[in-house]
Structure 1
Amino acid sequence: MGQLLSSLNLRGNSDIVPEIGFDIENAAPTTEESEIHDELYTLLIQPTTELLQSFRQYEPASDMIREAIASPTTENEDKAWEAVTPTVNMLRTFYSYSSQLEKGIPTLLNVLCKDGTTKDLDRHPGLTKLFADLLDFVFEFDYIKKSCYSK
């Protein structure tokens, strides 16, 4: 994961991002950061497994909607409604999560970027891992989204 952060260096070779001085895969929050870590973990990381699982099971309702529009019978409308309802619920869940991201990410980045990136990443291993887990979620979400559109 340290390599990932190093690869984010967009300023050329003059300002190379140094390696992180701990094992990010097994990082645990320090006593100093445990309260904010637990709060942000519950807010930002805990829901991600369920969100990704529901997104993997996403079934588009477009065929049933088209059928209900083309042949507006009660049966077709009911089928379309039954197909659309889970998607609407999923969208509501993702919207709610995005609101949590909007609140939590500035808090996380304020701690991680407060003084000097390297010092704060090393000083806050739990929050650094939390940020890495969040990036992992984002990459997986985008991968699933890309897969859905290629069906």
Structure 2
Amino acid sequence: MMWRIEFSSAKFLPTLPVACQSNPGVYGFELALWLAQALGRRGIATSYPAPEDWGWLIEYALPEERSFMIGCASMCGPHQGYDGQALDWSIFVEEHRSMQQRIRNLSSRSELDALSAHIVGILEEEQIPPARVGV
């Protein structure tokens, strides 16, 4: 199961040139780093951001081999984001389940919902209302 949160903001615009991004028009490091720090202030320790073809990933691990992927990515074209205008952003939260957890149909839905609620709350504290939130 995956939660997706979409919003528009100029707060996380890329600071490094396009050539330094994981792909042209694929930004999200600034958002992922900010989110990891904001979650950390709430006692939710994540990994550092890691690049992916589609954006940036942070991971949140719980005891008992439960973990979640938090993806952060822009939704724009190449070279957008350097003019100071707001971009559309997407954050997804997905539970990473082992093969054994899948076979046994074990899920951490309540933790997934709680983590997603924290992210929505963090965005709202920054006066960034999510345009779309859902499974």
Q: 1 or 2, which has the higher strand percentage?
A: 2
TM-score, structure 2 normalization? 0.31
Asked which structure has the greater CA Rg, the reply is 1
Task: Determine which structure has the larger helix proportion and give its number.
Answer: 1
TM-score if structure 1 supplies the norm length?
Answer: 0.28
